[in-house]
Structures are given as C-alpha cells and as structure tokens.
Structure 1
C-alpha cells in the first residue's frame, strides 16, 4: 500500500462522464483520493455523502477530491447523478489505479475471505507527496478525519 512520503502514482482514469482524468493534472492543489468498495452500497453512500455535505469545508482547506472504485462508468454516473456529488468518481474496472495504490487486498466478512477494495483515503500535498493515509475510514465522519490534520 502507498505510504506517507510516496509520490502520487501516475494514472489515467475515466470519470462518471466518460472523460479522462490524468493524475498529472491533479498536482498543484492538496488532493484527497478516497477508495470505496462499491457505488450505491449503504456504507459507501454514507461516506461519499459525508464528503459531499462537507465539500465547502474541504474546499476552504484547499482540498480537491477524487473517489475511485472498481465500478463501471455507468454505475459511477448513476451514483454521481443520484447524489449530485461535487467531485469526480473514477471507474477503475480493470483495477489499474486500485493496484497502484495497493488497496486491492484480502478481506474478511462473516468468516469468509476474499479479495476486494479496502476503504482507504490518501491525502497528498500540492507537490503530489502523500502526507497522510487514513486506513480506518469512518464513513459517517470521513470529512472530519481528513480535516483533523
């Protein structure tokens, strides 16, 4: 998994509108990249809505946001439209970006072991250096966790 001090990986992703988002264009502002397991599921919705509800506070603190999951562009578009998120969601169906950040890991639920996205938030400075990794994301207070630097 990406650690504090690591550089923002180079990547291109497709957002909810089918447009390419290039990581090189995200340098220059503080950046929050949050990975979530699946669009439109209860916990992921709580997290994404918390970030959306607190977007003005995050923006005031100088942050830009980017959400990433392994969902299709269509699923991301539906999720984005349903809740009118003020930030982009990346569809990473082939897990290229997910693998670069190291969040595709073994998980356990109800005694069953499987591979999936571990809910993780990465914070980068203006130069694209990781300053913080939140690996115990609390969906209801995701924005507060980011702002408590």
Structure 2
C-alpha cells in the first residue's frame, strides 16, 4: 500500500472522535490538516508521539493547522488516552481501518520475526485546498511533532 502522492486530492473521510462526534476532512477546508496515523492508544511510542504533538499544538495552530490522530481504537479508548495525557486535538476511531487503507497507512509489519497486517505509523499533511502536501511513510515518534512543525514553518504560507 502506498501513500497518496503530493498534489493529489486527499481521500475524504468521516470518523467519530473521542466523544463519538463525527469529524470529516471537509470540516477543515481552508486549513492545513496534520493527519497522523498511530498503531495503538496508550502504548509507549504512540504516547511519546501524541505528547510531542500536544507540546507543539499551540505553534501548529498558529500556522493555521489542525491535528487529527487516527488509530483503530474505539472512541472510548481514545477518550481515556486523551484525558490521561491532556491531548487537545481530536483522536479519530478508524475501527475498520478503511481510512488507514485509503491513506496507505495499513500494510505488512514485522515484530519479533513475525509478519502481520497492521496500522503503519505515518503522517499526511493536507493543504488548505484539500490536496496532499507532504507524507511521512515512516515516522520516529519522539520528535515527529517537531518535524511536522518545522515543515509547516517552511512551507505553509
């Protein structure tokens, strides 16, 4: 599965957030959207990544960007995760992984020598016109929010 190419329209979606409210890509027309896919709520790498986005959230907002986290966890799981770490942005429940698949964030993974299908930690930035602007097919969780902010500072006008 490959991620969408820069310059192509971002696949539309509507998913429930941590409060069960529907969130659509169309809700953010005219804004930069940081759509980050992560494997599982409240696991070490995903927590470090979410907290790094949280710590950069004010600066990301100042660049006109919204942050949306996406995993296959339920809205209830997302609510606990967001509350535990004070995450100020929506976490979307992609329980059938359809949005992850549409964005190329689903595929073969390896752990302990075993191959399995799963959500791949990756990020897509969508421009204010709804086109894919930048993709990170593989993400190191510790400073990814910093990396995204640096890209937006250099590219978002």
Structure-to-structure mapping, 1:19-38, within 5 angstroms: 19-38=21-40
SS at match of 1:37: coil
How many residue pairs get aligned? The number is: 149
Once residues 3 and 85 of structure 1 are traced to their aligned partners in structure 2, the CA distance between those partners, rounded to angstroms, is 29
Structure-to-structure mapping, 1:115-134, within 5 angstroms: 115-134=117-136
TM normalised by structure 2 equals 0.91
Once residues 107 and 3 of structure 1 are traced to their aligned partners in structure 2, the CA distance between those partners, rounded to angstroms, is 22
User: What residue is the counterpart of 1:109 in the other structure?
Assistant: 111
User: What residue is the counterpart of 2:49 in the other structure?
Assistant: 47
Task: Kindly indicate whether residue 27 of structure 2 is the aligned counterpart of residue 13 of structure 1.
Answer: no
Q: Is the 8 A contact 2:105 2:137 kept in 1?
A: no
Structure-to-structure mapping, 1:79-118, within 5 angstroms: 79-118=81-120
Once residues 39 and 25 of structure 1 are traced to their aligned partners in structure 2, the CA distance between those partners, rounded to angstroms, is 24
SS at match of 2:145: helix
User: What residue is the counterpart of 1:4 in the other structure?
Assistant: 6
SS at match of 1:148: helix
**What 5-or-longer segments of structure 2 have no aligned partner?**
152-157
TM normalised by structure 1 equals 0.96
1:45 to partner: Cα distance: 0.3
Aligned Cα root-mean-square deviation (Å): 1.0
User: What residue is the counterpart of 2:154 in the other structure?
Assistant: none
Once residues 77 and 61 of structure 1 are traced to their aligned partners in structure 2, the CA distance between those partners, rounded to angstroms, is 26
Once residues 32 and 85 of structure 1 are traced to their aligned partners in structure 2, the CA distance between those partners, rounded to angstroms, is 15
1:26 to partner: Cα distance: 1.6
Once residues 126 and 100 of structure 2 are traced to their aligned partners in structure 1, the CA distance between those partners, rounded to angstroms, is 16
Once residues 60 and 137 of structure 1 are traced to their aligned partners in structure 2, the CA distance between those partners, rounded to angstroms, is 23
